[in-house]
Structure 1
Amino acid sequence: MRKRVTMHIENKEQMKAWTLAFLEGLEPGAVVALDGDLGAGKTQMVRWIARALGVEGRITSPTFDLIHAYETDRGPLYHMDLYRLEEAEEIEDLNYEEAFYSDHGLAFVEWPDRAGDYLPPHTIWVSITKGEGEEREVDIR
C-alpha cells in the first residue's frame, strides 16, 4: 500500500516547484488521478508538466474533448477531463486502455471519480484543496 502524504503549499510558485518535483518521481506508464474542486489547480498542474516535457503551443483543458494527447520525449502525455461523463462506461469511447495500461507515457485524469472501476490499481491519487488565496493542501496517496 502506498504511503499517504499531505503538504501545505503557500503560493503558485511553490505549487509549480512541487509539481515539477512530483513529475521527476513518476515512472513511465504512471496514471495520476487529480481530484479537487473547480479552480483548485488541476489543469494548471498538467500545463506545467506538459511544458516541462517540451510541449509547445496551447495546452487547454479537455473539458469538451474529454482527452488530449501530447507527444513528449518521455512518451505520450494524456490529459483527461471526465467531468462530462454521465456513466463510467462512457470512458470506453476514449482511448483509455493506452492511457491507463501502457508502460510508457503519463496519464493525468481530472474528475477521476467519474471513471469508476476503470482506473488501474496503480493509480496515484492527488487531491488538491483550495485554501486562502493561493494556498493549497495537497494529499497524495
Structure 2
Amino acid sequence: MRTKHAKNEAETKEIAKSLADFLKEGSVLLLEGNLGAGKTTFTKGIAEGLGIKEVIKSPTYTLIREYQSGRLPLYHMDVYRLEEVGGDELGLEEYFQGEGVSIVEWATFIPEDLPKEFLKIKLVPMGEDFSERNLVFEPVGAQYEQIVANYFEDK
C-alpha cells in the first residue's frame, strides 16, 4: 500500500494522468471514496493520460460509459445503483478482459463480479473544504504490484 497526496483537483488529475502511462489492456482500477471524494476527477486524469479528448462524465445513471479515442479504450463504470441486484447480467468480465482500461466506482456492490487482480485506489478527502485528498494505492496481484512499484519509482 502506497499513498500520494493531492492538494487540489488539478493535482488529483495529474496523479491519475501519470498513472495512465503504466496501464495496459485489461487493467482494472477500483475507485473507492464517498460522494465528492474525487473519483470522476481521477477518471478524467486517466482519460487525459490515455489521450482521450472526449468530455468525461459520471456514469451514475448509465452505469457504463465507453471512450474509444485514446491509446487504449476506457470503460468507466459506476455500479452504485447495483447495490441490491449485482452485476450478473451486464457482462462486466468482457470489459475486464477486454482491450481497454476499466475504472469501477463503488465496486464494493459487485464483489462477486470483480476479477481476482486489480488496483484499488481509495480517495480520502482532507482539509477544511475537502479539496485536498490522500490517494491510497492498494494493488491486488503481481501485475498491479509491479504497476504501483514502477509508478512510485518514476515519481
- Normalization by structure 1: what TM-score? 0.86
Shift of 1:55: 3.0
Label 1:11 to 1:58 Cα distance change in 2 as closer, same or farther (>3 A): closer
Q: Tell me the distance in 2 between the aligned counterparts of 1:6 and 1:88.
A: 33
Identify the match of residue 109 of structure 1 among 76, 96, 104: 104
- In the alignment, which residue of structure 2 is the partner of 1:126? 121
Q: CA RMSD in A?
A: 1.7
Identify the match of residue 12 of structure 2 among 5, 10, 15: 15
Shift of 1:88: 5.4
Tell me, yes or no, if the aligned pair for 1:29 and 1:101 is still in contact at 8 Å: yes
Q: Percent identity?
A: 37
* Per-residue CA distance 1:26-71 (angstroms, 9 max, x = gap): 2221000000010011011112222333333432111111111110
Q: Are 1:82 and 2:79 matched, yes or no?
A: yes
Q: Tell me the distance in 2 between the aligned counterparts of 1:9 and 1:96.
A: 31
Q: What amino acid is the match of 1:53?
A: L
The number of equivalent residue pairs is 136
* Per-residue CA distance 1:13-34 (angstroms, 9 max, x = gap): 3222211111111222100000
Q: Tell me the distance in 1 between the aligned counterparts of 2:49 and 2:19.
A: 12
Structure with the larger RCO, 1 or 2 (CA within 8 Å, 6+ apart): 1
Tell me, yes or no, if the aligned pair for 1:9 and 1:138 is still in contact at 8 Å: yes
* Per-residue CA distance 1:84-127 (angstroms, 9 max, x = gap): 113353x122231221122x210000001011121111111000
Identify the match of residue 67 of structure 1 among 64, 68, 85: 64
- Normalization by structure 2: what TM-score? 0.79
Q: Are 1:31 and 2:39 matched, yes or no?
A: no
Tell me, yes or no, if the aligned pair for 1:125 and 1:140 is still in contact at 8 Å: yes
Which stretch has the larger CA shift, 52-61 or 68-77? 52-61
Q: Tell me the distance in 2 between the aligned counterparts of 1:53 and 1:23.
A: 6
- In the alignment, which residue of structure 2 is the partner of 1:46? 43
Label 1:48 to 1:75 Cα distance change in 2 as closer, same or farther (>3 A): same
Tell me, yes or no, if the aligned pair for 2:14 and 2:45 is still in contact at 8 Å: no
Q: Are 1:93 and 2:86 matched, yes or no?
A: no
Shift of 1:137: 0.9
